[in-house]
Chain A
Amino acid sequence: DAGVTQSPTHLIKTRGQQVTLRCSPISGHKSVSWYQQVLGQGPQFIFQYYEKEERGRGNFPDRFSARQFPNYSSELNVNALLLGDSALYLCASSFGPQETQYFGPGTRLLVL
């Protein structure tokens, strides 16, 4: 079975631009969470979605938004990019919000 997949793998943007990151969960999983991992730090929670509804939001500005589609895939959008948004963005899926989370390989975003 395929694991969590994310696209693109790498991305370079300039300040002020907008970016969309995509995540496909493990087949059968209905919950998707997004994390930001800055180099040398642990992942920081951004959002959790379950059955297309937002179930949780971390301490991130409104420039960050996300959605989950009927097929349970998800997109993370970041507007007005700042240099500090440079990080590895991780998607994790689980069967339900209370189940074990499995991480994808991440999208590495560099903002210049």
Chain B
Amino acid sequence: QQQVKQSPQSLIVQKGGISIINCAYENTAFDYFPWYQQFPGKGPALLIAIRPDVSEKKEGRFTISFNKSAKQFSLHIMDSQPGDSATYFCAASVTGNQFYFGTGTSLTVIP
């Protein structure tokens, strides 16, 4: 079964808008939650990651919000740009063990 559920499958946002992608998990042993960005023909690139001891982490225009009690985490992209158009994957792992990836969200930012 899918260990990490990601939504929406696709997202269209106007330039300058906020893109929000959500993920949910069941395994409470997960302790590392990264987000990856993937462009066509490329491998995933790490964007930002969080551990469950904090509720939010911000790096530039990218913010992860983490809700441990709801077992949910989300990626917020502020001031979205056309160059942000890519597929985004959330993932979760127990440190030192395999990563479980979501099914991906295709983001299109319209100029």
Contacts and interface: CB of A to CB of B under 8 A. Distances in A.
Interface string B83-111: 00000010100011111111110000000
Given A40-B104, A42-B104, A105 B43 contact: yes
B49 interface: yes
B101 to A, nearest CB: 3
Interface in B49-92: 49, 89, 91
A21 interface: no
Contacts of B95: 98
Contacts of B18: none
A56 B89 CA distance: 22
Interface of A: 4, 33, 35, 40-45, 48, 55-56, 58, 90, 92, 97-98, 100-106
Given A43-B89, A90-B43, 16 more contacts: A33-B98, A41-B103, A42-B102, A42-B103, A45-B99, A58-B98, A90-B44, A97-B96, A98-B95, A98-B96, A101-B46, A103-B36, A103-B45, A104-B43, A105-B41, A105-B42
